[in-house]
A = this chain, B = another copy of it.
């Protein structure tokens, strides 16, 4: 795989039993850590989980998605101002990072590092899958991974050698997501045109049918990403930010 294959990539949810060698994983982590971070502060941490017992403990907090226990490596990426603040305290400096901006700054660091890690891994033939569930049950992940104050998990990646060749998913046309000079808001016919391809796919039509819905959009709003869940998890995540010491402003 080379950079050209960024166009051909797909997420991998099924992994072979072959382990990811330490040297390879180390090399990928080193590449990830060359990612730009705010003021070169590197306010992130990466938890590398290989122990099956630990994965089993994490599994329910990721809604038992099978990748958690089946992937040889699970990586949880955290916004982390704990380490940096400790360094400040030890050096007669008073850290002022117990606020929302600092959390978001550290989250940016962690997310950019995660994506470099994924690209570096895929370039070696490994497969990855992101688990968006990380922010839903952050308080449980914090407990399981013993994250101290100043540390919040923001995403999780499962990693291993692919044991499937899934079809590549659709994407919106580039003009749907790219704006020139300023944001050009969408008119009804734009939206129709941009989403038509997605709606017409046979798997989309299958989803609509299986879920007894009228439209594909309803599968998202009524089944997959429901308002009541979003509201509930929003409250939980804001509470996590408070508990981990990022809402002191």
Contacts and interface: CB of A to CB of B under 8 A. Distances in A.
A219 B68 CA distance: 41
Nearest to A111: B111
A49 B108 CA distance: 22
Contacts of A38: 130, 132
Interface in A117-136: 118-120, 123, 128-130, 132, 135-136
Given A90-B192, A172-B42, A181-B47, A96 B36 contact: no
Contacts of A224: 39
Interface in A68-106: 78, 80, 82-84, 86-88, 90-97, 99-102, 104-105
A96 B220 CA distance: 10
A159 interface: no
A226 B99 CA distance: 11
Given A33-B171, A105-B135, 10 more contacts: A36-B118, A49-B181, A87-B194, A91-B216, A93-B218, A96-B228, A97-B227, A112-B115, A115-B116, A145-B182
